[in-house]
């Protein structure tokens, strides 16, 4: 039993540093076990239900693979339109139903706060796999794990979050999670897509150093980690506004000429145009390793919240 047993995972700022260290430690153990070809049975007899009411590739597949790699089973609703949500069922009723079938529930939903609402409806642990433009805490944990693996530590780094900082739940979560560490932030975005003022205010109140800029080139020169994001088309009310901003930042290989040695380039994926293909063979291009790290982190989370780790 750990402090995470029977807990929901709803927001990145819910974790203490010692909880993050525990999650990473267990993730590393599982990763090594898989690499050694061991077959794990930690979640044998347990059922995970994934409810994805927004598109996903990595998050859903890595959660499902995580459960299967731990010897558990998965039942899944891949899109809202194939579930009773399309008939008007409330999230509350869906959760009361699914808790009868599954031991742990992963939810992605278009509304901010949906995961908290779902968690309040059920006694089963709920993991937030993205609630609209709100939070994406399991992504932040794998992002943290990636920085640690790529750089040794997050301490002392200058981390640039770039792109759609207004709507991007990955950057909302990651900024909150990293703010407990000795990290300096650069927030690089078009003026219309700045980090929400409440998040900036919360970080500043904690004494975190933040520089805001519209210049990606300036940010690249000072960064240790450059975290690119997709302009979140689905969150725009005005398609013309999306068209105006969609290619605001396109990172190309030639732009990295002025970067610090060993710059780490991350992206939660999917990418649209934000990173040119010629960046992929840059040594610091970590985004596909980052996606792979999601498996071990989600194995650790599933085992911890069900008390099996």
Active site residue 271: no
Q: Quote the tokens at residue 175.
A: 């900024």
- Tell which one of 72, 132, 137, 268 touches ligand NCD (CB under 6 A): 268
Residue closer to ligand NCD, measured from CB, 203 or 266: 266
Catalytic residue (one of 7, 11, 50, 59):
59
**Cα-Cα end-to-end distance for the chain:** 8
DSSP three-state, residue 92? helix
Measure the CA–CA gap between 94 and 272, rounded to whole angstroms.
Answer: 33
**Could you say whether residue 230 binds ligand NCD (CB under 6 A)?**
yes
CA R_g for the chain: 19
**Could you say whether residue 269 binds ligand NCD (CB under 6 A)?**
yes
Cβ burial, residue 110 (10 Å; 0-12/13-18/19+) = middle
Residue closer to ligand NCD, measured from CB, 49 or 170: 170
* Ordered strands of the 184-188 beta sheet: 210-213, 184-188, 158-162, 225-228, 264-266
Measure the CA–CA gap between 64 and 121, rounded to whole angstroms.
Answer: 23
CB 63 to ligand NCD: min, Å:
10
Catalytic residue (one of 60, 108, 109, 169):
108
Active site residue 136: yes
**Could you say whether residue 293 binds ligand NCD (CB under 6 A)?**
no
Residue closer to ligand NCD, measured from CB, 42 or 291: 291
Active site residue 94: no
Measure the CA–CA gap between 225 and 187, rounded to whole angstroms.
Answer: 12
**Could you say whether residue 169 binds ligand NCD (CB under 6 A)?**
yes
- Tell which one of 136, 166, 172, 298 touches ligand NCD (CB under 6 A): 136
**Could you say whether residue 58 binds ligand NCD (CB under 6 A)?**
yes
Residue closer to ligand NCD, measured from CB, 46 or 62: 62
Q: Quote the tokens at residue 198.
A: 């409440």
Active site residue 108: yes
- Tell me how many residues contact ligand NCD (CB under 6 A): 11
Pairing of strands 184-188, 264-266: unpaired
- 40 neighbors 72 (Cβ within 8 angstroms): no
- Tell which one of 59, 135, 160, 293 touches ligand NCD (CB under 6 A): 59
Active site residue 58: yes
In the chain, what is the greatest distance between 2 CA atoms, to the nearest angstrom?
56
Residue closer to ligand NCD, measured from CB, 201 or 272: 272
Which are the contacts of 17, defined by CB distance < 8 A and separation ≥ 6? 180, 181
**Could you say whether residue 290 binds ligand NCD (CB under 6 A)?**
no
Q: Quote the tokens at residue 256.
A: 């990295």
**Could you say whether residue 170 binds ligand NCD (CB under 6 A)?**
yes
**Could you say whether residue 134 binds ligand NCD (CB under 6 A)?**
no
For helices 169-178 and 137-151, angle between their N-to-C axes, nearest 10 degrees: 60
Residue closer to ligand NCD, measured from CB, 168 or 284: 168
CB 138 to ligand NCD: min, Å:
9
- Residues at the interface with ligand NCD (CB under 6 A): 58-59, 130, 136, 139, 169-170, 229-230, 268-269
Please list the active-site residues.
Answer: 58-59, 87, 108, 136
């Amino acid at each position: 039993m750990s402090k995470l047993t029977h807990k929901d995972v709803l927001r990145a700022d819910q974790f203490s540093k010692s909880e993050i260290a525990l999650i990473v430690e267990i993730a590393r153990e599982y990763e090594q076990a898989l690499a050694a070809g061991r077959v794990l049975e930690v979640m044998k007899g347990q059922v995970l239900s994934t409810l994805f009411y927004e598109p996903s590739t990595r998050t859903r597949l890595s959660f499902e693979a995580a459960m299967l790699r731990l010897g558990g089973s998965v039942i899944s609703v891949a899109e809202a339109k194939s579930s009773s949500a399309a008939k008007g069922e409330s999230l509350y009723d869906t959760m009361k139903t699914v808790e009868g079938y599954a031991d742990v529930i992963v939810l992605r939903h278009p509304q901010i706060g949906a995961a908290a609402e779902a968690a309040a409806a059920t006694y089963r642990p709920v993991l937030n796999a993205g609630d609209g433009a709100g939070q994406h805490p399991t992504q932040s944990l794998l992002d943290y794990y990636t920085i640690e693996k790529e750089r040794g530590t997050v301490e002392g780094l200058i981390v640039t979050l770039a792109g759609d900082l207004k709507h991007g739940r990955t950057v909302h979560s990651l900024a909150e999670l990293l703010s407990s560490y000795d990290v300096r932030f650069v927030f690089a975005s078009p003026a219309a897509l700045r980090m929400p003022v409440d998040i900036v205010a919360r970080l500043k109140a904690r004494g975190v150093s933040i520089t805001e800029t519209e210049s990606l080139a300036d940010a690249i020169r000072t960064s240790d980690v450059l975290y690119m994001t997709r302009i979140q088309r689905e969150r725009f009310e005005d398609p013309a506004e999306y068209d105006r901003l969609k290619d605001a930042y396109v990172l190309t290989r030639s732009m990295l000429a002025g970067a610090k040695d060993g710059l780490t380039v991350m992206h939660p994926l999917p990418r649209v145009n934000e990173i040119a293909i010629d960046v992929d063979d840059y040594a610091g291009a970590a985004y596909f390793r980052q996606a792979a790290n999601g498996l071990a982190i989600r194995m650790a989370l599933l085992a911890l919240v069900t008390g099996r780790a």
